[in-house]
């Protein structure tokens, strides 16, 4: 990948060659600034009109080096620009693939899991209305909601937890979670990878217990922490996912908005 410094160097290189060529022609051939600049440009551009040419031996030798270094610098610049554009396009396609895989997660797992977590949250009514995302939302609205949720305490009430149902659901979706964790593209998305690990860890914690009957309060408190961790991460990724759909796929966004996990009883039917 090109760094900013490297790209600036490739842009600066032909400019330096033009300056050196212009100054050199002025000093060696005693040309005016305009003639020297004109000759340097047409020489490097390989146009070669021939109306301005070096007369002295030193001027001809200087012109040879000007041609070699000038053409080389511009070829390097053009090649670098082409490679940078290609890499930029590849990065765009790569990010798009990641967003699509995240979309699969929310369709298959995330939306239902988030809806379940909200049912455990005694304070969710404080933000429920704020999370009703509509077609009229802009990126500014998403930023405002993210700021609003940053002050929300994602807590769950132990007595509301249905650990058996939660375990059965995560176990059912376990293969998808593991496949996504094994995807090298998704590993590069740190926040989403952390969410996957949090969900898998919660599943493993629940799987390690032979029964959920009469669990010690300390053990329940430990599970609550794991649920709250996954809950908060899931909300943040859900916001990014909804913004992506709103920007790129309005028809998918429409269904996602109608099945919003913050709605108590979401209805996909359009009335």
Higher pLDDT, 53 or 171: 171
Tokens of 134: 């509509």
Encoding tokens for residue 120? 């455990």
**Selecting from 1.10.287.70, 1.10.260.40, 1.20.140.10, 3.40.190.10, what CATH number does the domain 4-89 have?**
1.10.287.70
Contact 2, 83 (CB under 8 A): yes
Domain boundaries, the chain: 4-89, 94-258
89 or 152: whose pLDDT is higher? 152
| Mean of pLDDT over the chain | 86
Query: What per-residue confidence (pLDDT) applies to 228?
Result: 95
pLDDT single digits (tens) 77-88: 777 777 777 777
Residue 52 pLDDT class (50, 70, 90 cuts):
low
Residue 1 above 60 pLDDT? no
Which range has the top average pLDDT, 34-38, 47-51, 61-65, 190-194? 190-194
Give residue 157's pLDDT: 92
pLDDT at 49 over 70: no
To the question of pTM greater than 0.75 for the whole model, the response is no
Q: Is residue 266's pLDDT more than 80?
A: yes
């Amino acid at each position: 990948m090109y760094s900013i410094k490297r790209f600036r160097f490739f842009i600066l290189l032909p400019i330096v060659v033009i300056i050196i060529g212009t100054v050199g022609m002025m000093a060696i051939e005693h040309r005016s600034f305009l003639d020297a600049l004109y000759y340097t440009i047409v020489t490097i551009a390989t146009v070669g009109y021939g109306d301005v040419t070096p007369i002295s031996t030193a001027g001809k030798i200087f012109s040879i080096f000007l041609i070699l270094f000038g053409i080389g610098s511009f070829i390097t610049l053009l090649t670098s620009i082409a490679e940078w554009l290609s890499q930029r396009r590849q990065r765009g396609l790569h990010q798009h693939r990641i967003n699509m895989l995240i979309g699969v997660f929310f369709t298959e797992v995330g939306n239902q899991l988030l809806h379940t977590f909200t049912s455990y949250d005694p304070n969710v009514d404080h933000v429920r209305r704020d999370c009703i995302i509509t077609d009229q939302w802009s990126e500014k609205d998403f930023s405002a909601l993210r700021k609003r949720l940053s002050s929300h305490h994602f807590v769950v009430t132990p007595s509301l937890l249905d650990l058996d149902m939660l375990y059965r659901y995560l176990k059912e979706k376990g293969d998808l979670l593991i496949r996504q964790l094994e995807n090298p593209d998704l590993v590069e998305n740190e926040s989403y990878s952390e969410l996957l690990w949090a969900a898998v860890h919660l599943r493993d914690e629940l799987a390690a217990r032979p029964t959920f009957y009469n669990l010690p309060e300390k053990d329940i408190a430990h599970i609550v922490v794991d649920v709250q961790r996954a809950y908060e991460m899931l909300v943040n990724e859900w916001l990014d996912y909804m913004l992506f759909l709103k920007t790129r796929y309005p028809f998918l966004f429409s269904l996602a908005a109608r099945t919003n996990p913050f709605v108590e009883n979401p209805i996909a039917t359009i009335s």
